[in-house]
Amino acid sequence: MMPDKRLADLIDFYREAGVDALLGEEPVDRFAATDAPQPPPARGRSASEARRMGVSVSADDPIRPALRAAPPVLSGEGNNLIAPDEAAMAAREAARSAQNLAELRAILERFDGCALKATATQLVFADGNPQAKLMLVGEAPGRDEDLEGLPFVGRSGKLLDRMLAAIGLDRSKVYIANIVPWRPPGNRTPTPQEQQICLPFILRQIELADPDILVCLGGPSAQALLGIKDGITKTRGRWYKFDTGTRKIDAMPTFHPAFLLRSPLQKRFAWRDFLAIKKALGA
């Protein structure tokens, strides 16, 4: 029998890898239990159909203007019918309507246009000080973040805290968020479609927070926010300009803490990046 210590280490390994479900020995055909979707009516969407699209239909809801009568497509989650283009359009309309971060969070709480919300435990909006000069944006929450409702609280979050402390900062002096605010199942990478649906919200979040410096943690964050196509190894440590909507601010990509946990030799480059950030902050 496997010793208790080895068993505990194995369970910890699976948990860190994102395993969150047990499977039986007999296969189950999930598709056999799924009824075929009914064809949509020829006229415009009803209120119930609009709700399946992931938006509220109250008269004063800012998401309502994004509804249009268009043929839906399968979302891939159960029998829900959703048009991804319409979900992205609803996200843009909703994000634009938020006048402050509290409103933006409330809108995200109601928004169901991203299928990740159905599998996540809760929304992971932000942590830290929204008035801070420095804002850091990662890719998506992991298991620990999904459970606590805060970004970067797992192993990578603890490393990020140590990196910030090394330049004299803590969470009271920075603002932290992710491109996608819901955890993808199994900690997988968010699909391009999921990122595009969520992108208007993080763009508006950056605009409302209005930091002086933006740090993109990892390649996906840098590519989505800065529009660059090169990998993080080539782009880290370089300064770019990010348009918040009201002004242009300095932005730098650097390695994601989760990557540094897997590749500790790269920490020396991240240290150089954080020293440059410290200098830019005038700290």
- Asked if the structure places residue 233 within a domain, the reply is yes
The low-confidence residues of the chain, meaning pLDDT below 70, are: 1-5, 9, 12-25, 27-82, 283
Percent of the chain with pLDDT over 90: 68
Q: Would you give the distance in Å from CA 31 to the centre of its chain? A: 28
- Asked if the structure places residue 64 within a domain, the reply is yes
Question: What's the pLDDT score for residue 83?
Answer: 77
Of 68, 89, 113, which one is at a domain's C-terminal end?
113
- Asked if the structure places residue 66 within a domain, the reply is yes
> In this structure, are 193 and 96 located in the same domain?
no
Of 113, 146, 164, which one is at a domain's C-terminal end?
113
Look up residue 161 and give its two tokens: 């805290």
Residues 6+ apart with CB under 8 A from 96: 62, 200, 204
Look up residue 70 and give its two tokens: 């268009």
- Asked if the structure places residue 133 within a domain, the reply is yes
- Asked if the structure places residue 144 within a domain, the reply is yes
279: alpha, beta or left? (left if phi > 0; alpha if psi -120 to 50): alpha
Which residue segment(s) compose the domain that 269 sits in? 119-283
The CATH number of residue 237's host domain is 3.40.470.10
> In this structure, are 73 and 166 located in the same domain?
no
> In this structure, are 74 and 187 located in the same domain?
no
Q: How do residues 148-196 score in pLDDT, each as one tens digit?
A: 999 999 999 999 999 999 999 999 999 999 999 999 999 999 999 999 9
> In this structure, are 188 and 250 located in the same domain?
yes
Would you give the DSSP letter of residue 173? S
Q: How do residues 23-56 score in pLDDT, each as one tens digit?
A: 666 766 656 655 545 444 434 444 444 443 344 4
- Asked if the structure places residue 26 within a domain, the reply is no
- Asked if the structure places residue 37 within a domain, the reply is no
> In this structure, are 109 and 176 located in the same domain?
no
Of 113, 131, 162, which one is at a domain's C-terminal end?
113
Distance CA 58, CA 246 (A): 30
